[in-house]
Chains A and B, each alone.
Chain A
Amino acid sequence: MKKGVIIFALFLLWVLLVAAVIALPPMGSSETPAYTHVVPRYLEKEVEEGGANNIVTGIILNYRGYDTMGEVTVIFTALICVLAVLGRENIKRHTSKVELSSVEKSVIVKSVVRLLAPFIILFALYIILHGAESPGGGFQGGAILGASVIVFTLTFGFTLGMKKFPLKYRTILESAGPLSFFISGVVALFCGLNFLTYMLPCINHAYQDLVRHLLLLIIEIGIGIGGGTVIGSIFFAMEKVEKE
């Protein structure tokens, strides 16, 4: 009975949503409002106005930079929430499942991870730094960075993992995302411009482009490092041995 009611309600919702989507202006038509209002300006002018050859990066960091700042804060909030519920890992009383397991990690796995780790990190850095030119950017690179931490820790055990990524650096790097946005955004205030304007009109005009690229780069690196550290820290906080 209860199940039936729920299924019926979900069915109604489904019908409603499908009807709403069908009633939408046609996809792909040149008259659809979503393609004719704001978007043309992004497509036509982004490269000169926004300062990034990759238009997506230009939109998320420049036109809608404030939203991205909020998103980065959501990631930071997620970490704080995990820590508030689970608590930080405790290196002293820690014995991880990986170390407890009786099966020794095979030499092949260890060697491959050891061999690949530098390349994974290098690739992550490439994606972070190249975000302004090609698909990629801080978020994607950060995820790869975080994955490298996880792979390393899973293979070599927690004690070594925590030694390589010590808590005292992680606490600072976790906030890198919001802080890098703040640093890049706030400089414009001193020249009387609005927050998050990546320009400094009070210095020589010839350097404007350089300043803008530099500030965008700071943000990309901040998002990447911050995101990667957050993923790593959440992983460390979650990997706890059940109390017996």
Chain B
Amino acid sequence: MLEFSQHCPVLMTITLLVGAALTPIVSRFRKKLSFLWAMFISLLSFFFCSCATWRLYSEGPISYWLSGWEPPYGIEVRFDYVSTITFLMTGLGVLIIFYSRKYIEHEINEDKFSLYYTLVLLLLCGMVGFSVTGDMFNLYVFLEILSLSGYALIAITEEKLNAMASFKYLVMGAISSLSILAGIALLYNVTGTLNMADMALRLQQFPPILTSYVALVLFVVGFSVKAAMFPVHIWLPDAHALAPSPVSALLSGLVIKVGIVGMIRILYTVYRLGGNINFIPVTNFMGWLAAITILIGAFFAFFQDDIKMIFAYSSISNIGYIVMGISLVSFTQPEKGYLGMVGGLIHIFNHAIIKSTLFLCAGALIYKTGFRKLSDLRGMGKKMPITCGALTIASISIAGIPPTSGFICKWYIILGAIEFGKWYFAAALLIGTLLVFAYYIKIVNAIFFREPNEPITKVDEAPMSMLIPIVLLAIGCLVLGVFAYLPLAVIRPAAATILGLPSTYIPGG
């Protein structure tokens, strides 16, 4: 078992990759098979990921040498505490593929079904590969796989607006990929290696030169675009709102988090706290941008009528929380950044689950009624009680009301901000939360308590294949809030190792 589990970090990526390459071939035999095949592949990958996670918590991080070459000569795949996000990615992937079976009949042309599943598998493959790699160029390769498949998944519906949104995303994404690639090239020339851990060591050995700082800026800019931070968030609302709903759930729940994972890897694995390159000005600046991102996202969400547009703007706002959490660090006293880091990391997990629930619920509403405007969806609560119930739970969670999962992350981030005496960050966060609360109340009010414009007929509950993922995710929102120690147990070692503390670190202990 141990022998086998050591291969898991690479097997879960390879499974998705080969599964995607085989999907067009499989669907040639029978059209219907592509769904079953995608389910099978994602479940297999989820199984491998579970094995790897199990091994991580029993044996410690796994370092896997591709082709058997020791780093820095070959490529190292490193499954560490940050990589546990892949557990979420593959798990959500399974649910979203399951949900897609019925939904895509509604938005996608029938002969593109197999292409859709291929792209979803490729997207998952890119994200998983990105999160487990320990090599800079490998990071870029998987970033390309996931970005390309993301662009195509938005445009797959053949609507004119989708093509525009996808193109906007493509242009912004290409700039960010280019800037990341330039950063990698510069750092390679400074250090002569591509392995992240080795690069970190060699950056400490040489006196810092201007090139390292420029590379850092390029990385931060590149990953900020992928994560949709404030001045470069403009691609997100259209792309996430117009994509087919399961794709929106993937993009909003997971793909933008990839930018955050990238930032964590670059800042805290390669440049490192306490090394000889002080990047605190950069994180401070990111903190300010994050505060603006929170307010801007929440503010614009307030004025939307399209239900998916609200969620898309709210994603921007939530990325702000996460970045604020991970940017609250101190260069010389790593313990000080612990609370903010825990908050930011938990929010990565919670937001992924909450936002997927919201988008899948929105998808179910759109699938059944064909409406996406809040004013048209009035009174749906009585017709589709389960979907709307899940929507309400997720709305309460994202507003951060105590028994649900959204509370704990905001609490930790506020504590982190106070730890640094940045009360204005805490204030921005609270104002953002109030705005969020207001517009989610608006949604709940519209679907449950407002009279419909015209009597609704012929609308009933969404089909089973859509309800199961929605209900499971809604339960997830509640469970992760009530039993908050569960995610905390997973996140604590991650936050501690990111800051360079021992993985068993407990503040004050």
Which residues of A are in contact with B by a Cβ distance under 8 Å? Answer: 16-17, 19-21, 23-25, 32-39, 41-42, 62-67, 69-71, 73-74, 76-78, 80-81, 83-85, 87-88, 168, 171-172, 174-175, 177-179, 182, 185-186, 189, 192-198
Contact = CB atoms under 8 A, between A and B. Distances in A.
Given A64-B74, A194-B66, A197-B68, A85 B155 contact: yes
Majority secondary structure of chain B interface residues (helix, strand, loop or mixed): helix
Given A63-B74, A195-B10, A81 B152 contact: yes
A110 B72 CA distance: 53
Nearest to A27: B189
Contacts of A21: 186, 211
B64 A194 contact: yes
A63 B67 CA distance: 7
A194 B211 CA distance: 36
Given A67-B137, A70-B141, A77-B145, A198 B122 contact: no
B192 A38 contact: yes
Q: Select the residue from B14, B149, B156 with max chain A CB neighbours within 10 A.
A: B14
B113 to A, nearest CB: 11
B112 A84 contact: yes
Interface residues of B, number: 67
Contacts of A63: 67, 69, 73-74
Given A23-B211, A195-B14, A81 B149 contact: yes
A21 B182 CA distance: 11
Interface in B447-463: none
A37 to B, nearest CB: 4
A-B interface, 6 closest residue pairs, ranked by CB to CB distance from nearest: A70-B141, A33-B192, A37-B192, A81-B152, A20-B214, A23-B210
Given A64-B74, A88-B111, A193-B68, A70 B129 contact: yes
A80 B149 contact: yes
Contacts of B142: 70
B190 A33 contact: yes
12 contacts: A17-B182, A23-B209, A33-B190, A65-B75, A66-B66, A67-B135, A76-B20, A78-B148, A80-B115, A84-B156, A85-B155, A87-B111
A36 B145 contact: no
A234 to B, nearest CB: 13
Contacts of B166: 85
A192 B112 contact: no
Interface string B186-229: 10111111100000001000100111001101000000000000
A197 B67 contact: yes
A93 to B, nearest CB: 14
Contact of B75 (A64, A186, A189, A198): A64
Given A37-B72, A80-B119, A189-B7, 6 more contacts: A32-B189, A74-B145, A77-B149, A85-B155, A171-B25, A185-B14
A189 B112 CA distance: 35
B152 A80 contact: yes
Contacts of A198: 67
B59 interface: no
A179 B217 CA distance: 38
Contacts of B156: 84-85
B188 A34 contact: yes
A33 B202 contact: yes
Interface string B70-98: 00111101000000000000000000000
A17 B152 contact: no
